[in-house]
């Protein structure tokens, strides 16, 4: 069975300052999902807290975030938004 692939829609990447997460839409195996990567994940990847550069950090680490998003999705795809946490980096 081939590995699942996540296609991120770059036009939907949005820095949600209030919720401290970068949100985006993606497609896995023909299914559309909404994702949110917490700022703590970006901080773990960059070593710095996002300070107006969360979208840039997201784009620099998109391959790692894509893998973490698939790990988060494996916890259950039936949620309205798939939240990617630091725990998903290790899987």
What pLDDT is attached to residue 3?
57
What pLDDT is attached to residue 23?
98
Chain segment 31-78, per-residue pLDDT in tens? 999 999 999 999 999 999 999 999 999 999 999 999 999 999 999 888
Q: Is 78 exposed, middle or buried (0-12, 13-18, 19+ CB in 10 A)?
A: exposed
Chain segment 2-16, per-residue pLDDT in tens? 458 999 999 999 999
pTM: 0.92
What pLDDT is attached to residue 8?
97
Domains and CATH numbers, the chain: 6-90 (3.30.160.140)
What pLDDT is attached to residue 1?
36
């Amino acid at each position: 069975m081939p590995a699942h692939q996540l296609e991120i829609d770059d036009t939907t990447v949005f820095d949600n300052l209030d919720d401290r997460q970068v949100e985006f839409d993606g497609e896995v195996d023909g299914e559309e999902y909404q994702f949110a990567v917490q700022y703590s994940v970006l901080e773990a990847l960059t070593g710095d807290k996002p300070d107006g550069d969360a979208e840039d950090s997201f784009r620099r680490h998109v391959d790692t975030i894509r893998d973490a998003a698939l790990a988060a999705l494996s916890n259950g795809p039936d949620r309205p938004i798939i939240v990617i946490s630091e725990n998903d980096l290790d899987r």
